[in-house]
Amino acid sequence: MSISVRILIVLAGLTLVLTAPPLASAAPGSDDKPNIVLILMDNFGYGEVGVYGGGELRGAPTPNIDSLATDGFQLTNYNVEAECTPSRAALMTGRYGIRTRQRPDGPPRGVWYGITRWEVTMAEMLTDAGYTTGIFGKWHLGDTEGRFPTDQGFDEWIGIPRSSDRAFWPDSNSFTPGSHPDAVFTHVMSSKRGETPSELDVYDRAKRTTMDREITDNALDFIRRKAEGDQPFFAFLPYTQTHEPVDPHPDYYGKTGNGSFADVLAQTDDYVGEILSTLDELDLKENTIVIFTSDNGREGVPRSFGFTGPWRSGMFSPYEGSLRVPFLIRWPGKIPAGQVSNDVVHQVDLFPTLASIVGEELPDDRVYDGADQTGFLTGRTDESARESVVIYIGNELFGVKWRNWKLLLKEIDEDSYAIREMAYPSVYNLIVDPKEEVPELNYLNDTWVDFPLYQVLEDHEASIAADPGAPDP
């Protein structure tokens, strides 16, 4: 090869290097480390959105949320814990709530809030995998030093630390300021990793109407900022709706003509649509996992008018209307589109599944209740990686589900929430009796099911004895 030809080759190579776009400008996310957008509704019933039998039936079509089913995987037997805090603890840690934040020997109110700082959260796991993380919305897993989301793996947070029922307080004519150190107004808060959160606006009824709009705007800002970098991102949007009070944004009040709940449903679908459109606009759709789900079923109070579809009851109960919620997941090219399954999946599965996807090993110093569902969701296997879940309300073990069967050892009064031990356990076939109206009891043709049901309970109790969880450091 002549010297002149060599010079031309070198110059051509230099031209390619100089004209190529910088790596940092490439869209974040990849096949092995996709971006993750997790949308979590609050007290949102199984039957609210169109693909679960709601939508237009509920007074507001939900085309944007429904598109996640068309383009992704819809689960019809996705299970959660029966109340907000243990559900969010389970989601964030891959461990049943009983391990993460409840102590049987604690005071009655003290066992209901937060997770121990020893727990590894989903945000901490994803940080270790190289992700930048943001949470926009309701945390509900701690509101003291060391327990805020930016203390537990998130890079930034704007939202509320506790529940929306506190939005009633500032507008109550019976509220007595200073009556107790903990009886104070909730504020919208903001913080960055390592900072002490600052209090912004009081979370009152007026603020409640705009909260989910602000959550959406802050999440969109986060996604746009992170789209300019080269790190994959995790955007967690725990919305505040449809927890009481169900107050729509002023722009949506009266929009459907079908009442406030339908207005909020329309509002939520539009906000989800904005998230999806932004991912399209930024060319992030193909390398972003989008998940839409809820922490538990509809509100326990009848006035919420939430809808659980074919299932009985709502939150704070051991029945399916409390435990089954929507779950839609989209990952184009990796999760086959248009799939529907009634296989058993539990919210604790999301932690090990995402860890598997991003290549992170789980800590080996604790028991994980979750199962890796990567193969099932991506179509490499035909069945869920689990067949059963255990059922808790607070610290009380109520029973177990195995396949389409359910065993309840205790029952709960749906008006008073009083817990009663059953004289004889109830067994339900959820295919035959989805409303859980007629327990099988001791029907002779079905007594065989006692063996797998009680085996699940025995294995779980042994696991809890081996790893009851760790206290705060």
Which residues are tagged catalytic? 84, 140
Give, as one character, the DSSP assignment of residue 196. P
* Distance of alpha carbon 421 from alpha carbon 429, whole angstroms: 20
CB atoms within 10 A of CB 196: 10
Q: How far is CA 28 from CA 97, 315, 370, in A?
A: 33, 38, 28
Place of tokens 């030093």: 145
Q: By the 8 A CB rule, do 236 and 134 touch? A: yes
Place of tokens 């799939």: 339
Q: By the 8 A CB rule, do 50 and 65 touch? A: yes
* β 405-412/419-429 pair status: antiparallel
> Read out DSSP for 31-77?
SSS-EEEEEEESS--TTSSGGGT-GGGGTS--HHHHHHHHHSEEESS
Give, as one character, the DSSP assignment of residue 335. S
* Distance of alpha carbon 335 from alpha carbon 10, whole angstroms: 43
